[in-house]
Amino acid sequence: MISHRHKFIYSHIPKCAGTTIEVVLKKFASPSIGSELAKENKWWRNKKLFELYKVNVDYFKFSFSRNPFERLVSTFSYFTDEKIPFSDFVKDVESFLNSKPHAIFKEISENRCINHSVRRNISPLKNALLGYHVLEQNYFVDSSFDFIGKVENLQSDFDYVCGIVGLDNFELPQLNRSSHNHYCSYYNTELRDIVERLYRKDLEMFNYDYGC
């Protein structure tokens, strides 16, 4: 999402309150291109999003991160309704991320989340949209970003962003929330070690740990 009037770029990291933030910011955002869904919601994805970073170097770039252990549980609950074991889900995600799908997603020239070659070959649970949702959070940002807020401090960090880009503060709604138990209850030592390895860069970059 980009606003030329307010000179900001927001990168929506999946399962990090992105829908909530986009709904609030949409009326300030500039038009996007691509599918009707993309144009309606004014979002940008993959190659088109990364191109915005390079072209609009003086814009305030921000995103929001989330504890990777909690984010994965939220994604699991949202996509499966917990109808399969969490251990099976984690191992499918592990296989997917070990295949290094990032380069494939980065070359999607259309403004969308799904790459059909990913769906055919390697997507977890054979769901390409799920594949997009479990990519590491650092995939969605780069070193040019000015601020990475935290879902754990969502309202106060969003208020900070509004102050920087010249918007009034807004009370954020709660949208697309999945219903699940505390994330710690889903992990044993093996699963914790897998997720810690897969998302090590996120844990370090965004200053998270297991926390249980």
Rounded Cα distance, 96 and 118, in Å: 10
pLDDT at 120 over 80: no
What is the pLDDT at residue 146? 98
pLDDT tens profile 60-104? 999 999 999 999 999 999 999 999 999 999 999 999 999 888 877
Whether pTM > 0.85 for this model: the answer is: yes
What is the pLDDT at residue 60? 98
What is the pLDDT at residue 103? 77
pLDDT tens profile 126-169? 887 898 899 999 999 999 999 999 999 999 999 999 999 999 98
For the chain, helix, strand, coil in percent to 5 are 55, 10, 40
Mean pLDDT across the chain: 90
Mean pLDDT on 28-54: 89
Residues 123-138: b if buried by 16+ CB within 10 A, e if exposed = bbeebbebbbbbbbbb
Rounded Cα distance, 56 and 170, in Å: 25
Confidence of residue 116 (pLDDT cuts 50, 70, 90): low
Give yes or no for a contact between 40 and 19, defined as CB atoms under 8 angstroms apart: no
Give yes or no for a contact between 86 and 96, defined as CB atoms under 8 angstroms apart: no
Confidence of residue 176 (pLDDT cuts 50, 70, 90): low
